[in-house]
Amino acid sequence: MPNTEPMTQRVELATLRDRLAVDEVITDYAVAVDDGDWSLYRSLFTPDGRADYRSAGGIEGDAGSIAVWLAESLQLFSMRQHLIVNRRVRFGTLEQDTGDTARVQADYVNPMRFAADGEGSAAPDFVCGGRYAFGLLRTDDGWRLREVVVQEKWRRLPERTAPAVID
């Protein structure tokens, strides 16, 4: 009986490397949005890659038009911090090659501070949360996003209190 242990170890190592590479793309996505690095954002997508932010009051479209929309709409916020957690990665097949695609389901919490509040306040003014569905494709340049769908589940604006009036 042939020893299949080295082959199994190679497959497990390749899967681990793919999981780390996919995780890096998801992390780069969050950093690009938070830092307003729209060149990086666009580079994370396949040429036909799309994103759908409609559940969060946004738009759906190709990565280039989404980057323009995000750059404009996120100017409202001086601080953004996407925390993407509970990442569930599943690899799929494309054209009979195992591991060419990946689906990632991940929850997010996104605190942001309005730019009008200035830099003095550290507390976020706006917090939302939900779930991302990422679709990735292995390309010659590595893993790239083919699809991003945001499913916002909740949002909160802290109550503002009126300044005290001194008589």
pLDDT of residue 8: 76
pLDDT of residue 52: 98
Q: What is the mean pLDDT of each run of 10 residues along the chain (167 residues)?
A: 65 88 98 98 98 97 98 93 95 69 96 73 81 96 97 85 54
CATH of region 5-156, choose from 3.40.640.10, 3.60.15.10, 3.10.450.50, 1.10.3720.10: 3.10.450.50
pLDDT of residue 96: 54
pLDDT of residue 24: 98
pLDDT of residue 83: 96
Q: Which are the contacts of 147, defined by CB distance < 8 A and separation ≥ 6? A: 49, 50, 51, 52, 133, 134, 135
pLDDT of residue 125: 84
C-alpha–C-alpha distance, residues 8 and 2, integer Å: 12
- Sign of the four-CA dihedral 61, 64, 70, 73: negative
C-alpha–C-alpha distance, residues 132 and 143, integer Å: 17
Q: Is the pTM for the entire model greater than 0.95? A: no
